[in-house]
Amino acid sequence: MIASLLAVAGPGQALSPQEMIKNAEKGCLESAAKEGWRADLAKVISARALDTDKVEVVLDLTKDGTNTARLTCPYSVSQGVGKFGDNFAKSMATTVSAGDEFKPTRLWWLLLPIGLAVISWTVLRGRDSAA
């Protein structure tokens, strides 16, 4: 009789917050991989248990290996992974593109239109002087 009570009580026991977070991270990465994100390059930014059933995992994900998206993955112990971008704590998901970063080495492109203008002006001025 005691064994049957333990067997019934076993599945209903609450998970510790650490176990919930571990399961949520695993479930979110599997779900992200199914949606085309590269789980091998994913980074867990934060993960926290919101209550006894809900966990919020914030992931840095990429599809092409260059551009990244910071997405919130809601996880419920009773329902599993929710839709990416949904969140329980109302935090915003932001997308960061590799091209959004300021790179001083790209400033040389400004010289191209300036150089073309100077060359064109010089050629046209020289042609007018010769005539």
The total number of residues written for the chain in this structure? 131
Q: Is the pLDDT of residue 102 over 80?
A: no
pLDDT of amino acid 130? 63
pLDDT of amino acid 89? 36
Q: What is the pTM of this model?
A: 0.53
Handedness of CA 77, 83, 89, 94 (dihedral sign): positive
Q: Is the pLDDT of residue 31 over 60?
A: yes
- Cα 44–15–48 angle (5° rounding)? 30
pLDDT of amino acid 13? 56
What does the radius of gyration of the chain's CA atoms come to, in whole angstroms?
28
Q: Is the pLDDT of residue 96 over 60?
A: no
Q: Is the pLDDT of residue 4 over 60?
A: no
Going from N- to C-terminal start, the domains of the chain cover 11-130
The pLDDT tens digits of the residues spanning 52-71 come to 888 888 888 888 888 888 88
Amino acid at position 87, single letter: N
21 close to 48: Cβ distance less than 8 angstroms: yes
